[in-house]
Amino acid sequence: MSGCMKKNRLSVRIRDGLLIAGGALLLWNLLDQNRFVVRKKEIRTDKLKKGESVRFVFVTDLHSKKFAGNNESLIKAIRKCKPDFILCGGDMMTAHPGKNNKTAVSFLKRLAEEYKIYYALGNHEFRARLYPETYGEMFDEFVDAVECENITFLDNESVLLHDLPVRIQGLTVDREYYKRFAKMHMPSDYIENLLGKVNPEEYTIMMAHNPEYGEEYFEYGADLFLSGHLHGGIIRLPYIGGVASPSFHLFPVFSGGLYACREQYGYVSCGLGTHTVPVRLNNPGEVTCITVSGKK
């Protein structure tokens, strides 16, 4: 066999191998974009008495994604967790001119029929409100569409649960903290100026959409911060985590999962939908069920 024939056969094998690998990755991506998992976490604290507990489901970054049965599969999964309430971490809608967010509205209204919902703003809600010249009445229309007694928006606000010393906060940061390619400096008193000081007698759960400021959230003193935004880092690698953030930071420190700092915790959800980069590899959508209980 001539050298040219051998080279041609090798080229064909390489081409075929790349096509098969590319097809497998495409299929994997489609599967992960259209499925979700339920992750359960338990946290113990001295701020609750023994026998006291609170359970909630954390959902974020739906981006008006529709799973099986018009999101009936999501509703059923949440019901199985038997939460006391729901926390929404933002970006349930998508801020894009002309975007239809009816799926997000429908999902939230369905949830609100059964559960109390506390909703923090993500960067999509924030920029839709900030730039009406671009997005028109999108933000107001979204809020009006989901408005009901069981949905409370926490825009640099907080609520204290009636029966337990548990405070839920919703942090809304300025647009500069979502800039691409560079992480902006956050002053040490920035969060405190927005939300006030943490009460050491209360268990504080802070929803803060962007986890790239996880260290600052720990320094603020919240007992548990909840974030999303990174979509799990788009591609997740074993033992490493997410590959990239929406700000194009490679291998972000807080990309997904539970993080601990002394007696404080942070949980970063991989979210449910996608935006801009429609890729999820080894990274299905996520519904998170968290139980906080006393250990005294």
Confidence at residue 148, expressed as pLDDT on a 0 to 100 scale: 92
Confidence at residue 250, expressed as pLDDT on a 0 to 100 scale: 87
CB 255 within 8 A of CB 268: yes
- Residue whose tokens read 């999509």: 124
Cα separation, 194 vs 174, in Å, equals: 11
Cα separation, 210 vs 158, in Å, equals: 18
Cα separation, 217 vs 212, in Å, equals: 10
Cα separation, 178 vs 32, in Å, equals: 26
Strand ranges of the sheet holding 53-59, from the earlier edge strand across to the other edge:
36-50, 285-294, 53-59, 85-88, 117-120, 151-154
Parse the chain into domains and list their residue ranges. Answer: 1-33, 37-294
Confidence (pTM): 0.91
In terms of DSSP H, where are the helices of 120-177?
Answer: 123-130, 132-135, 138-146
DSSP per-residue string spanning 259-280: EEETTEEEEE---S---SS---
CB 77 within 8 A of CB 112: no
What count of Cα atoms within 13 Å lies in the side-chain half-sphere of residue 215? 8
Helix (H, G, I), strand (E, B) or coil at 86: strand
List average pLDDT for each run of 10 residues in the chain, which is 296 residues long.
56 60 70 90 95 96 90 95 97 90 94 97 95 94 93 97 95 91 90 96 97 96 96 88 82 93 95 86 94 89
* Range 37-294 has CATH code 3.60.21.10: yes
Confidence at residue 213, expressed as pLDDT on a 0 to 100 scale: 95
For residue 107, give the H/E element and its range: helix 102-112
For residue 68, count other CB atoms closer than 10 A to its CB.
12
Confidence at residue 41, expressed as pLDDT on a 0 to 100 scale: 97
